[in-house]
Amino acid sequence: MKLHKEGKRILTGSLIVIFIISFFSVRYLHAWSLLVIIPLIVLYGFMLWFFRVPNRTILDYHEHVIAPVDGKVVMIKEVFEEEVLKEKCIQVSIFMSPLNVHICRYPVSGKVTYKKYHPGKYLVAWHEKSSTENERTTMAVNSLTGQTVVFRQIAGYVARRIVFYGEVGDTARAGHEYGFIKFGSRMDIFLPLDTEITAKIGDKTKGGLDIIGRMKVS
C-alpha cells in the first residue's frame, strides 16, 4: 500500500512513541501490557489507512466537474460567493470522515488564478458557517470552458492541518492532486449557475473518478 508523503513524519514519530510505550509496558506490566499495546497497534493501523494513496486512473476532462475528494455530498444550493466570484453560484459541499482518503484534487481543468489561506475556527465540518469561519484555503481555476470555478478546503473539528501545493499560474488538471487535509474536513466547490449538477445530496464520491457536474462552454 502506497502512503502519502504528508503522513511520513506523523507515522514515523508515532511508531517511535508506540515502540517506547510498548517496551516499558512489557517491562513493568508484563501480561497486562497487551491492554496497552493492542489499542496502540489498532490506532496505528487506522493512521496507515488514513494516509493511503489509492491507485486511480485519471482521465482527461474538458467541461466535466470531477469530485475533488472522497466523501459524501452534504449540500447543493445557490449561494453568493463573496471572496472571488462576487456573484451567485451553485455550491456543492462534500464532507470527508476520518475514514475517507483525504487527498484533494482539482475539480476542473484550466489555469490557477487565485490562491489564499485563511486562519480560522474549527467548527464541525458539516456546519454551514464552517465555509466562512473555519481555517480554510481558497483556490480558483479559469476552466477550459472559459468560466471561473472556486473551491475551498475547510478544516473540521478534528482536522488541524491543511496543505495545498498549487500556485497561481499553474496548469490544473481535473482529478489530479493539489493538496491534502489531515483528519476529517470538507470541500466546497462553487460553480456557475448554468452548470448541470449531476450529483445528489447523500451521494458517496470518489475523488478523481466521479463526475458531479457538467459546465456549459462559454
Residue type for 206, please?
Answer: K
Inter-CA distances, 134 with 10, 131, 163, 164, 204, Å: 23, 6, 15, 16, 24
- What is the predicted pLDDT for the residue at 163? 85
Dump pLDDT digits (tens) for 93-151: 999 888 888 899 999 999 999 999 988 666 655 555 556 667 889 999 999 999 999 99
22 part of the active site: no
> Choosing from 93, 130, 143, 185, which is the catalytic residue?
185
Averaged pLDDT for residues 201-214: 96
pLDDT reading at 158 higher than 70: no
- What is the predicted pLDDT for the residue at 31? 84
- What is the predicted pLDDT for the residue at 131? 62
d(CA 189, CA 150): 6
d(CA 194, CA 189): 14
Main-chain dihedrals φ then ψ at residue 100, nearest 5 degrees? -80, 155
- CATH class for the region spanning 64-214: mainly beta
Half-sphere exposure of 191 (CA within 13 A, CB side): 27
Smallest Cα–Cα separation from 96: which of 137, 153, 134, 55?
A: 153
- What is the predicted pLDDT for the residue at 98? 81
- What is the predicted pLDDT for the residue at 109? 97
pTM, 2 dp: 0.85
Between 35 and 50, name the one with better pLDDT: 35
Averaged pLDDT for residues 30-53: 90
